[in-house]
């Protein structure tokens, strides 16, 4: 007859504790998610209010805004080029193969150009903003938080939202819109050159078909998307950075959380805006 060892009750207790912890995690996760969402909404509202108030009162930190614009453009410009060009080439290859099968090679310029403007540019912008800009903002504010610089600013009566969050929010919006326009230019030029020189396309047909179907609303919606992406990324990154804890390891975890949360939020937002735009302004066949 085998008797239970002295360690078995402890093992069962540890297992039960692990199960209880797992259940508690699933129970606490929705509450923490709602708390985080509410905190980010509050931060975004405060940042926008402080931006308007500081601009009206002529106290907006333009030096910090210009510094952040240069920093964000510096960390995202080169990756944008290296991501936009391959995406434009892939789009041209896939669309070229499809239009050749259906015998609509004259419309390749319209399909490729509109694909880049409507979806390619906003998606690349979201990736660059979430991956490069969001991580940089979160790392900067997270390091300040763990070094207790944010607490020191509050003790001295300096509002971190007005001094740190507001200029980063405006800078993220400006850089996002500039990146979107830059991606449209690079992507369209890449698709044009690839179609003409690699796929033996006709330059006039490419430009003519694109001009026949493209409208100003397409570019306007892409810029609106990029501005919204900048707002969401800046708010999420600033909030997570301002609540980082645990030293350098905590900052690394905060950066990872900011990038993942921003990417998921931006992709979902892109789907919603695209669906709304296609419903309100359906594509007209000429």
Q: What is the pLDDT of residues 37-84, one digit of tens each?
A: 888 889 889 989 988 988 888 888 888 899 999 988 888 888 888 888
CA-wise closest residue to 231 among 159, 138, 129, 160 = 129
Q: Phi and psi dihedrals of 214, rounded to 5?
A: -75, 140
CA–CA separation, 119 vs 99, rounded Å? 19
pLDDT surpasses 60 at 26: no
Q: Taking the alpha carbons of 123, 127, 130, 133 in that order, is the dihedral positive or negative?
A: negative
**The predicted structure's pLDDT at residue 2:** 46
Overall average pLDDT of the 150-177 stretch: 89
Largest CA distance in the chain: 90
**The predicted structure's pLDDT at residue 203:** 80
What DSSP string runs through 217-268?
A: HHHHHHHHHHHHHHHHHHHHHHHHHHT--SHHHHHHHHHHHHHHHHHHHHHH
CA–CA separation, 284 vs 286, rounded Å? 6
pTM: 0.81
pLDDT surpasses 80 at 33: no
- Top pLDDT among 206 and 284 is at 206
27 pLDDT band, cuts 50/70/90, is: low
**The predicted structure's pLDDT at residue 24:** 60
8 pLDDT band, cuts 50/70/90, is: very low
Tens-place pLDDT, residues 183-229: 888 888 888 888 788 777 778 877 887 777 777 788 888 899 999 99
- Top pLDDT among 194 and 110 is at 194
CA–CA separation, 96 vs 191, rounded Å? 10
CA–CA separation, 168 vs 107, rounded Å? 41
Q: Which distant-in-sequence residues (6+ apart) come within 8 Å of 221 by Cβ?
A: 118, 273, 277
Averaged pLDDT of the chain: 81
Mapped onto helix, strand or coil, the DSSP state of residue 147 is coil
**The predicted structure's pLDDT at residue 28:** 62
CA–CA separation, 89 vs 79, rounded Å? 16
pLDDT surpasses 90 at 236: yes
């Amino acid at each position: 007859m085998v008797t239970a060892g002295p360690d078995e009750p402890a093992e069962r207790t540890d297992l039960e504790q692990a199960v209880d912890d797992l259940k508690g995690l699933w129970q606490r996760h929705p509450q923490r998610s709602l708390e985080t969402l509410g905190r980010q909404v509050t931060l975004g509202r405060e940042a926008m209010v402080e931006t308007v108030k500081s601009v009206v009162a002529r106290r907006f930190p333009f030096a910090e805004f210009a510094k952040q614009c240069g920093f964000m453009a510096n960390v995202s410009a080169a990756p944008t080029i290296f991501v936009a060009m391959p995406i434009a080439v892939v789009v041209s290859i896939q669309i070229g193969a499809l239009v050749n099968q259906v015998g609509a090679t004259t419309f390749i310029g319209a399909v490729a150009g509109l694909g880049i403007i409507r979806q390619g540019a906003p998606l690349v912008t979201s990736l660059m903003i979430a991956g490069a800009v969001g991580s940089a903002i979160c790392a900067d504010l997270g390091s300040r938080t763990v070094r207790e610089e944010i607490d020191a600013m509050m003790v001295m009566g300096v509002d971190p939202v007005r001094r740190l969050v507001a200029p980063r929010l405006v800078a993220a919006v400006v850089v996002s819109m500039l990146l979107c326009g830059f991606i449209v230019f690079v992507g369209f030029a890449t698709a044009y050159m690839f179609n003409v020189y690699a796929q033996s396309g006709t330059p006039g047909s490419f430009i003519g078909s694109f001009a026949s179907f493209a409208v100003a609303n397409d570019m306007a919606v892409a810029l609106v998307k990029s501005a919204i992406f900048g707002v969401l990324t800046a708010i999420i990154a600033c909030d997570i950075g301002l609540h980082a804890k645990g030293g350098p390891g905590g900052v690394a975890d905060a950066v990872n959380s900011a990038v993942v949360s921003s990417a998921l939020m931006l992709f979902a937002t892109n789907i919603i805006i695209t669906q709304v735009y296609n419903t309100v302004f359906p594509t007209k066949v000429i």
